[in-house]
């Protein structure tokens, strides 16, 4: 009960911090919008499907890219129409996507650090980021050929072609999963998956996929600029459809990780001790790895490769709230969302917009050096 109270208290506090950062971030840009105005815009914009009888309240239809929606609200604050469109159509989708991606990367990083019992582990350790990069880069280099293979036959022989952006995201997602499950398959022998073997398999697969990415870059031609931008991580041009897709995937997977947070605590004692305490070790490892791979793939599919979020945030929160994953997992996830929103805000606030991965690396690399030099590097 005490642990639950701590988890709820810390999570509520960090959720409040995230909400404040989101509101402040939505007001920052070439057009400055006061936080109070941002709040009014958000409160005025309760979204419901078009065609529903809404009455006379609210400001009428809202054209969201890729989604046919109208909105109404019990609130009717007077707001500037330009501010409303900037917040709802440009900034808020990007901010919410950043929060979801940061949330997913930090959650997966927390699990990986506990799983490998190493505070320098992150989601890329099982090949997810490299696999996503191969999938995305392959589609960027060969969009026409791969688009032809992605005409999806549905019930009734209806074919649905994918847009360029959707194709990149889909190939990134699939590539991430193929790489992660490939690492798991290589490391598994006779129904057992030793952690040390999994780590070495991850390193081998990442090295091979790095070579594939280099080859594809040589074939890229005029597409090289797009590849570099994707590999450095980006959130520009985020759409509500991407936010919706990510929001449908991330929370259920996070709940799976949260349910197994107690088992993850027991695994820290060692596999033999965990088995003696009644934990189905191999089954638990499979579930944790699968959920971590999926939640990471959902994040990188739309945002590209963003490093260090899954490394530094869990470690920092571990120093604050302790190693109990029942508390650490939700707090690290919320802090990860906050960190990436802040990093993306900094990335787009200069005279020239930077890839968000550059900002996270600028913060994360010095912290990584600190981990290497710290006495606590081998402790959890």
* CA pair distance 178, 127, nearest whole angstrom: 9
Query: How far are the Cα atoms of 17, 75, 84, 103, 346 from residue 87, in angstroms, in the given order?
Result: 19, 17, 5, 21, 17
pTM of the model: 0.87
Q: How confident is the model at residue 54 (pLDDT cuts 50, 70, 90)?
A: very low
Query: Does 59 score more than 60 pLDDT?
Result: no
What pLDDT score was predicted for residue 270?
A: 82
Query: Does 261 score more than 70 pLDDT?
Result: yes
What pLDDT score was predicted for residue 324?
A: 92
What pLDDT score was predicted for residue 191?
A: 82
What pLDDT score was predicted for residue 69?
A: 45
Query: Does 229 score more than 70 pLDDT?
Result: yes
Query: Does 180 score more than 80 pLDDT?
Result: yes
Q: Does domain 92-378 have CATH number 1.20.140.10?
A: no
* CA pair distance 18, 20, nearest whole angstrom: 5
Of the two residues 177 and 275, the one the predictor is more confident about is 177
Q: Pick from 139, 113, 151: which is nearest to 329 by CA?
A: 113
What pLDDT score was predicted for residue 45?
A: 75
Q: How confident is the model at residue 217 (pLDDT cuts 50, 70, 90)?
A: very high
Q: Sign of the C-alpha dihedral, residues 299, 109, 95, 75?
A: positive
What pLDDT score was predicted for residue 307?
A: 87
The three-state DSSP-derived secondary structure of 42-53 is HHHCEEEECCCC
Helices (H), 86-163: 92-115, 128-141, 143-149
Q: How confident is the model at residue 57 (pLDDT cuts 50, 70, 90)?
A: very low
Of the two residues 165 and 200, the one the predictor is more confident about is 200
Q: Classify each residue of 26-44 as buried b or exposed e, where b means 16 or more C-beta atoms within 10 Å of its C-beta.
A: bbbeeeebeeebbbbbbeb
What pLDDT score was predicted for residue 52?
A: 41
**Average pLDDT of the residues in 277-305:** 91
What pLDDT score was predicted for residue 269?
A: 84
Contact of 57 with 114, CB cutoff 8 Å: no
What pLDDT score was predicted for residue 147?
A: 64
Q: Pick from 106, 76, 87: which is nearest to 28 by CA?
A: 87
């Amino acid at each position: 009960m005490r642990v639950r109270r701590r988890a709820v208290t810390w999570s509520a506090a960090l959720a409040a911090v995230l909400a404040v950062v989101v509101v402040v971030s939505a007001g920052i840009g070439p057009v400055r919008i006061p936080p109070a105005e941002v709040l009014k815009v958000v409160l005025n914009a309760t979204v419901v499907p078009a065609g529903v009888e809404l009455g006379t309240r609210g400001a009428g239809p809202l054209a969201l890219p890729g989604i046919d929606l109208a909105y109404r609200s019990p609130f009717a604050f007077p707001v500037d129409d330009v501010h409303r469109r900037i917040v709802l159509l440009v900034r808020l989708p990007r901010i919410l996507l950043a929060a979801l991606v940061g949330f997913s990367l930090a959650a997966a990083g927390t699990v990986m650090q506990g799983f490998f019992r190493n505070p320098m582990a992150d989601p890329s350790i099982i090949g997810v980021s490299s696999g996503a990069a191969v999938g995305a880069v392959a589609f960027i280099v060969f969009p026409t050929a791969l688009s032809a293979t992605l005409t999806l036959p549905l019930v009734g022989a209806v074919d649905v072609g994918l847009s360029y952006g959707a194709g990149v995201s889909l190939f990134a997602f699939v590539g991430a999963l193929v790489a992660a499950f490939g690492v798991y398959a290589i490391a598994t022998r006779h129904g057992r998956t030793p952690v040390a073997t999994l780590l070495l398999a991850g390193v081998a697969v990442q090295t091979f996929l790095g070579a594939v990415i280099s080859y594809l870059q040589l074939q890229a031609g005029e597409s090289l600029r797009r590849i570099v931008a994707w590999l450095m991580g980006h959130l520009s041009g985020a759409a509500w459809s991407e936010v919706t897709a990510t929001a449908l995937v991330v929370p259920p997977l996070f709940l799976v990780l949260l349910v197994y947070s107690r088992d993850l605590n027991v695994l820290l004692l060692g596999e033999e001790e965990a088995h003696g305490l009644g934990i189905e070790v191999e089954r638990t490892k499979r579930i944790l790895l699968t959920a971590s791979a999926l939640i990471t793939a959902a994040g990188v599919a739309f945002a590209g490769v963003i490093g260090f979020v899954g490394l530094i945030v869990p470690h920092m929160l571990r120093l604050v709230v302790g190693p109990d994953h029942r508390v650490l997992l939700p707090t690290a996830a919320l802090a990860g969302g906050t960190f990436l929103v802040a990093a993306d805000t900094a990335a787009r606030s200069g005279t020239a917009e930077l890839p968000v991965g550059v900002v996270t690396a600028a913060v994360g690399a010095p912290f990584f050096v600190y981990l290497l030099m710290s006495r606590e590097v081998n402790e959890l």
